[in-house]
Amino acid sequence: MLDTHARKYVEPFIVKTAKFLLRRKLSANQVTVLAFLIGCSSGLFIYLGQPIIAVIVLWISGFLDAVDGSMARLTKTSEFGTVLDVTFDRIVEISVIIGLALTFPQLMFPLLLLSVAIIVSITVFLTVGAVADKKGMKSFYYQAGVAERTEGFILFSLIILLPSINVFLTFLYAAVVVFTAIQRMLEARKILN
């Protein structure tokens, strides 16, 4: 939801950063890899007991993930870049989930449910994106939803920083993702019939 509706407020800063990195001769795919590496370190920092650093690197990764897309649109988008971007996004989420699971044993079951919810939601998202005729700003049809990447980062940040209620927050995150999957499935029924 925030990725779709609030991006216009941060878009000028994202584009400015994209242009800066392009002037430094970096490609969109190189920034995708950089965002991936930084994002994956979040799980490690959770495990090492450095929650603030974990959240900071997670958000830097998310920002660079937005920048790489702007860089691609300012130069030339590539289908392989889209594959890298979507795949690396999921691996960053997996690293956070693994870091949380290893650090907070009480989160094992809630994180399992969250992981299943993410798998179902991303399956709907990617399948609709692949079969829909519409194309938007991205290289495939992008279904907006209640739980987009920014909401995920907010909830992951709260789970990392608030261990006393992280079980509740993880269940909440899973519920929001399930709601989003249902929302996207209902939209798919409308646009694909």
Express each pLDDT in 176-191 by its tens digit.
999 999 998 998 888 8
| Secondary structure letter of residue 139 according to DSSP | S
Helix or strand (DSSP H, E) at 90: helix 79-103
pTM as predicted:
0.89
Residue the block writes with tokens 């000028």: 12
Of all residues in the chain, the percent with pLDDT exceeding 90 is 73
Domain span at residue 152 reads: 2-192
Residue the block writes with tokens 């790489």: 68
| DSSP for 117-145, written as a single string | HHHHHHHHHHHHHHH-S---SSSS-----
Of all residues in the chain, the percent with pLDDT exceeding 70 is 91
Express each pLDDT in 151-180 by its tens digit.
999 999 999 999 999 999 999 999 999 999
Q: For residues 29 and 84, what is the distance between their CA atoms, to the nearest angstrom?
A: 8
Segment 40-46 mean pLDDT: 98
Q: For residues 154 and 156, what is the distance between their CA atoms, to the nearest angstrom?
A: 6
Report yes or no: 65 and 85 within 8 Å, Cβ to Cβ. yes
Residue 35 — very low, low, confident or very high, per pLDDT cuts 50/70/90? very high
Whichever domain contains 152, its CATH number is 1.20.120.1760
Segment 11-32 mean pLDDT: 95
Number of domains present in the structure of the chain: 1
